[in-house]
Amino acid sequence: MLEKFAAFILVLFAAPSLAAGQAPAPPQNPLHRNYREGETLVYRMTAINEDWHYSLRAEGTVKKDAAGTFFEEYRWTDMTSDGKPYTMAPAMTDFRQKLSLEPNAAPSIPDLTKVDPKLIGPITDFMTCYVDLWLAAKMGVVKKSGDHFYFKLGIPSSWADGTHVLTGVSSADFDFTLKSVDAAAGTATLEVKHVPPANPSIPLPGEWMKTPIADTANNWVEVAKRPDGKFDAGVGQEIFTVDLTVSLADGKILAGTMDNVVKTIERTCDDQALTQCTAPEPHQIMRKIEIALETAKP
């Protein structure tokens, strides 16, 4: 179920050099990452997903692969769900998430079919922060305070696990703004807005899903199978904004926030073709994710 997500990553890897050629920028790049092998980083993520509150830690180490490319390898620990300790599925003991801000390293695609379902959101949100910074740094088109660049992409990305979430796809363009470069504080602040493309190329399995529910084309769709054999289906408009504070010294992420709003209509359907469904009901999904670097050691 990750084929579309893989295509999204491959296009990201190929396209930025073209975009950079169209919009040259000053030579110094405040978003460039300078790695030190063996460095350890620990992030705390806290989040609100509608009525669900959770927190957990990502504990990482900087490593180097056989080709000499640096990456950060994370394991997830110390999760709480609605204020109570949460025991992750046994598969998470061995799961490692690889992320890199090296310009020649394509973002690594995690296998979401082998993780605890409650970890799908944190894993993909953490990756989004890295992909946003990686893309901005690789393109090199925002380098001084106030620089802005709109990147038309529109490639669909998937969070479906193939078991519970059968279809989970969104499509977005990227709107970059380097809000500040503060030499005194040693930080740069990057804003990345993920906005609906003019023509989102996402699968819409139900005919009723093709009607826009907001002021743009629908760019978000999800179909999940229920324990009773029915299907919960929704479609709508997704917009989210990622703000990242980056160290000017070495380019690592110091803190980040993600504000995610999805305006949808939802229906429960008897069939997977989504033809025998209840009346549509409007629903707004609101998520807020925060990450903060707790420790970093050489």
What average pLDDT does this structure show over 70-77? Answer: 97
- Provide the number of structural domains found in the chain: 1
Q: Whole domain around residue 106: which residue ranges? A: 3-297
Question: In this predicted model, what pLDDT tens digit does every residue of 173-212 receive, in sequence order?
Answer: 999 999 999 999 999 999 999 999 999 989 999 999 999 9
Supply the mean pLDDT for the chain: 90
pLDDT value at residue 26: 44
Burial class of residue 110, CB neighbours in 10 A (0-12, 13-18, 19+): buried
pLDDT value at residue 66: 94
Question: In this predicted model, what pLDDT tens digit does every residue of 26-44 receive, in sequence order?
Answer: 448 999 999 999 999 999 9
* Residue 17 pLDDT level (bands cut at 50, 70, 90): very low
Residue 5 reports pLDDT greater than 70: no
β-strands 148-151, 253-269 pairing: unpaired
pLDDT value at residue 4: 39
Cα–Cα distance for residue pair 56/116, rounded to 1 Å: 13
What average pLDDT does this structure show over 55-73? Answer: 97
The better pLDDT of the pair 5, 273 is held by 273
pLDDT value at residue 24: 45
* Residue 106 pLDDT level (bands cut at 50, 70, 90): confident
Question: In this predicted model, what pLDDT tens digit does every residue of 205-238 receive, in sequence order?
Answer: 999 999 999 999 999 999 999 999 999 999 999 9
User: Whole-model pTM?
Assistant: 0.84
Contact 43, 56 (CB under 8 A): no
* Residue 162 pLDDT level (bands cut at 50, 70, 90): confident
* Residue 11 pLDDT level (bands cut at 50, 70, 90): low
The better pLDDT of the pair 285, 18 is held by 285
pLDDT value at residue 155: 84
Residue 213 sits in a domain of what CATH number?
A: 2.30.230
Closest CA to 142 of 249, 251, 255, 25: 25
Residue 259 reports pLDDT greater than 80: yes
Cα–Cα distance for residue pair 262/251, rounded to 1 Å: 31
